[in-house]
Every structure is written in C-alpha cells, then in structure tokens.
C-alpha cells in the first residue's frame, strides 16, 4: 500500500506538522496510531513533540481544522491541504510591505474621499478589474461599460445592491482600468527595439493580466507557460523588463511546493 508523501513533517512550523500527522492518520490510516507510526518510523517519536507547539500556538482556525479531521468532516488529503493554503502565505516584508502600506493608505483615502459612494465589496472589485481587460480588448464604449457594471452588480450584490453613487464609482473605476490596460509609451518602444520576441511576448502576457499600477503574482512556472519559453529564460527576461522600467519586483519568489511565495511584480507603464 502506497503511503502519502508528507509535506510538512520537516517544516519549521510544527503546528502544520502536527495537523498533517493527524490528517494522514485519520484520512489514510483510519485513525490508527500503530499503522501511521510503522509507515513513518523516522517521525514516530518526533511527532509527539509537535503537540506542545500546537497547544500553545495554534490559531482558532487551525484548531477547527483538526476538529474537522477528527470528526471525519474532511475526507481527502487534497481538501485538507487546501484548508492549509492561507497559513502558507508569507508576511509582507521590504518592498512588499511598503507596497501593501501604500495600497492600504490609498484605500483609506478613497474611503474618506468617496464617503457613501465607496464600495466595500472585495469580490465585486476583483471581478471589475478582470472585466476591464475584456473590455479593453474589445475597445468597449461607455454603453458597453455600463452594461458590464449592471451585470457585475447583479452577480455580486444580490443581498446588498449598490446605491446610484456607488454604481457611478464602479463605472468610473472600470473605465480607468480599461485605460490603464491600453496605455502605451516610451518603455514599450524600448521593449520592441530590443528585438527579442520572447521578451516582447512576456511583456504582452503581463499587460494582458495586469493593468498599469497593479501587482501580479508571476511565479517562474506560470511565466514560462505564458511566454512559451524555458524556465531558465524567465529570470533574465524579468530582469530585462525591470531594467527597462516596465515592471518593479515587489517580492522575490521562493521555490518549493509549500513555500507559498510567488514572485510579485508591479506594472509601471
């Protein structure tokens, strides 16, 4: 019988290690202590020391996950690992922390400026950003933007419809995002003049997925797939785009299935 390959038994976060031990024990070994110990003899004694960090440091969400595991509410390891993803997101540091503070300050300023016209609906605004790309590709007119606004409100505000002022805010937000997608200038001409097809193609993919001034998670695997190039070419291409002023590296990525840290860039033009 094949046993699952542990992801967190060697992780520095022993709370996650304990949760994974319990998840594998209940889901794969039907709660049997002896079977899991025989399957992972290297960790048989070590796992007993993971309980204290869990008891002293686990959050309410993590305790709830363990309760779900023990009550058999989680039936697959895939579902279990999905619940752990939020705990793998790294804390913002350096440029990433500075960028986060700027965005937080901008949101607070907008809320103060707009007053009752401010939209506090994150799913709606995320959908609005995505729709702006589609509208930019169609070179949409004001009427088409208005139709999209109505559709977004219908999809994301069933129980809390927007006021007329908020609808106008959403309309202007999408219009600005569309214009940002369409912005061209000196930097793009430099990219074209570099005579590097892969460089230009990578830039085109970034433009399609990220409007001016926004950030995008762009790990090596995704970048290579989007630009149809080898992973080895991704780093020099991204460095070239940075040097040309097209993007800024906000957070360096970290390789590994469980690192939870992708490279984050901000589109500058």
266 - beta bridge partners? 215, 248
pLDDT reported for residue 49 = 92
Flag whether pLDDT at 102 surpasses 80: no
**Which strands make up the sheet holding 264-267, listed edge to edge?**
215-217, 264-267, 247-251
Both structure tokens of 26: 């209940």
Pick 186-267's CATH classification: 3.40.50.2300, 1.10.3720.10, 3.40.50.2030, 1.10.10.10.
Answer: 1.10.10.10
Spatial CB neighbours of 179, under 8 Å, sequence gap ≥ 6? none
Contacts of 47 (CB under 8 A, 6+ apart): 9, 17, 18, 21
- In whole angstroms, how far apart are CA 243 and each of 201, 229, 267? 17, 20, 13
- Can you say whether the dihedral through the CA atoms of 189, 191, 197, 201 is positive or negative? negative
What is the SS3 assignment for 216?
A: strand
Please state the domain extents for the chain.
14-88, 119-182, 186-267
- 28 closest CA partner among 87, 85, 74: 74
pLDDT tens track for 35-63: 999 999 999 899 989 999 999 988 888 99
Residues 6+ apart with CB under 8 A from 140: 148, 178
Dist CA 9 CA 235 (whole Å): 31
Mean pLDDT confidence for 236-260: 81
Say yes or no to pLDDT of 178 above 90: no
Q: Looking at residue 50, what DSSP letter applies?
A: S
Instruction: Dump pLDDT digits (tens) for 183-235.
Output: 656 677 788 788 888 898 899 899 888 888 888 889 888 999 988 999 999 99
């Amino acid at each position: 019988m094949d046993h699952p390959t542990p992801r967190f038994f060697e992780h520095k976060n022993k709370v996650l290690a304990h949760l994974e031990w319990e998840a594998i024990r209940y889901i794969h070994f039907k709660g049997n202590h002896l079977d899991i110990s025989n399957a992972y003899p290297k960790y048989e004694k070590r796992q007993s020391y993971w309980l204290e960090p869990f008891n002293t440091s686990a959050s309410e969400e993590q305790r709830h996950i363990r309760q779900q595991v023990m009550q058999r509410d989680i039936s697959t390891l895939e579902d279990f690992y999905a619940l752990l993803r939020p705990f793998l997101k790294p804390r913002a540091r350096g440029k990433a922390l500075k960028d986060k503070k700027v965005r937080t300050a901008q949101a607070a300023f907008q809320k103060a400026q707009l007053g009752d016209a401010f939209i506090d609906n994150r799913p709606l605004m995320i959908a609005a950003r995505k729709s702006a790309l589609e509208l930019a590709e169609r070179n949409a007119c004001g009427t088409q933007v208005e139709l999209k606004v109505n559709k977004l409100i219908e999809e994301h505000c069933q129980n809390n419809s927007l006021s007329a002022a908020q609808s106008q805010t959403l309309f202007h937000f999408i219009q600005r995002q569309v214009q940002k997608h369409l912005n061209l200038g000196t930097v793009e001409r430099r990219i074209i003049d570099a005579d590097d097809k892969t460089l230009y193609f990578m830039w085109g993919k970034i433009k399609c997925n990220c409007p001016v001034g926004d950030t995008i998670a762009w790990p090596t695997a995704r970048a290579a797939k989007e630009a149809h190039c080898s992973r080895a070419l991704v780093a020099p291409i991204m460095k070239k785009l940075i040097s040309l002023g097209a993007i800024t590296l906000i957070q360096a990525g970290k390789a590994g299935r469980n690192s939870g840290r992708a490279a984050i860039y901000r589109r500058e033009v």
